[in-house]
Each structure stands twice: as C-alpha cells, then as structure tokens.
C-alpha cells in the first residue's frame, strides 16, 4: 500500500484525475447531446459517449499520465489493453445505469444525467487502478 502513496504515484493519480475530468466532461456532453437533443436511447447514448471519452482518455493519458509506459512504442497493444479495460468499465457503467434509471427510478432527463455522473465516478476507480497496475505496470 505504501507504493500507492509514493510521490510518483500521487502525481500520477492527480494527473489521471485531471485527464479523467476532461474525459468525463466529454462523456457527459456526448451523452447529453445524444440522449436529449437526438433522442438516442440512454443505453446506446451511454455506449457511444463512453467510446468517445475512452478515446480522449487514452490519448491524454498516454500523453500526460502514463508517458513512461513500456507500451510507448507499441500503440496498437496499448490501445487494445486500454479499450479492454474500458470495455469492462463500460459493462460496469451500463449495469449502474440500468440500476439507477430502471431500478431506482432516476428516469427524468436531469436524474439520468445525475445517474451518468455517479456511474462515471464509480467506474473511474476501476479504470485508474486497472491501468496503473495492469496496463501500465512498471
């Protein structure tokens, strides 16, 4: 546990938090555009928004957070692993969205957005830990 609190790990987490923040804003914006303006069903909007934000997150993450990765020269393998981790995150995200919207009744436009924000926050933890300890392990 001490390695997680090392200076490098804290800086890396803060960087990932910033990258994740930008990616989350992209995800929520795309979700809102699709769901509210284009009337795309919320689960499909969740998938499409997640794909766009994962691409943004991968580009920013490799540029700012995990720039010392062993995969630096192996972009295809790195992208595959990032999207694999993100696909698992997407499944978690979809389960949470169904739980919040269909089970807990968060089915108005505003509550769906709140559900999306909450689901994103929970999946953020999975994404960071998976990337740090599996995809970008040193």
Report yes or no: 115 and 101 within 8 Å, Cβ to Cβ. Answer: yes
Residue 3 lies in a domain: no
Residue 132: its pLDDT value, please?
80
* Cα-trace Rg, the chain: 16
Cα 35 from Cα 84, distance rounded (Å): 25
User: Per-residue pLDDT tens for 6-19?
Assistant: 677 788 888 888 98
Give the chain's domain count.
1
Res. 116: pLDDT tops 80: yes
- Which tens digits make up the pLDDT trace of 66-104? 776 655 667 788 888 888 998 898 899 889 989 999 999
Examine residue 2 and state whether it is found in any structural domain, yes or no: no
Structural domain containing residue 44? 8-135
Residue at 1 is within a domain: no
């Amino acid at each position: 546990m001490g390695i997680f609190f090392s200076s490098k790990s804290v800086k890396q987490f803060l960087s990932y938090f910033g990258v994740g923040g930008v990616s989350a804003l992209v995800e929520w914006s795309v979700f809102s555009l699709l769901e509210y303006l284009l009337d795309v069903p919320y689960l499909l909007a969740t998938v499409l928004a997640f794909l766009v934000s994962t691409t943004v997150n991968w580009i920013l993450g490799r540029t700012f957070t995990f720039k010392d990765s062993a995969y630096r020269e192996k972009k295809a393998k790195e992208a595959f692993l990032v999207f694999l981790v993100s696909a698992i995150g997407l499944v978690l995200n979809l389960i949470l969205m169904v739980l919040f919207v269909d089970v807990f009744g968060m089915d108005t436009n505003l509550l769906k957005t709140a559900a999306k924000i909450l689901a994103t926050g929970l999946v953020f933890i999975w994404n960071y830990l998976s990337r740090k300890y599996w995809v970008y392990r040193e």
